[in-house]
Structure 1
């Protein structure tokens, strides 16, 4: 069996072909840079940006959900997910000691919930 083919943008091609860990893990292709240069620059704060609206709709459809929300980082996504899931005290999160929310988010969960 041969090793999986590697691609600068998607990592190893296969069942888990996209490496979404960070924008520092990949290098944009020429076509990606061209798409960035030609996209609209409207304001998403006022729900005016067609690129963002299209992406959120596409992701919602892929996930079988009513809507999706684009956030700027995994940390922001984690905080929003925790806030939406933990609606009533006592707040508890069980996770591995190596979890991103423990190792790299500087106590964001505790701060967001005003916990001690």
Structure 2
């Protein structure tokens, strides 16, 4: 059990370091991509899911302010990458999401 917990903590620490080194819009895109992957692993749709966190909580997690989260969501929507409505995210183009992240 301790080994499993240590692995999770180590992965989260590495992920946090990786996220902290990129721009805000890429951080949000990586967060959405990670949620998509996690939902997929649990047997849920990787392209349509409901955020369980409020924008303020997401902003705290990603070291941003809520207003920045709102602006970056709009940017991803305009790019045709996601659709966002009342905490419900639809990843319209996983390929565009991957490309957006890799170009950072």
* TM-score range for the pair, normalised by the shorter chain length: 0.3 to 0.5
Choose 1 or 2 for highest CA Rg: 1
Q: TM-score, normalised by structure 2?
A: 0.33
- Work out which structure has the larger RCO, using CA pairs closer than 8 Å and 6 or more positions apart in sequence: 2
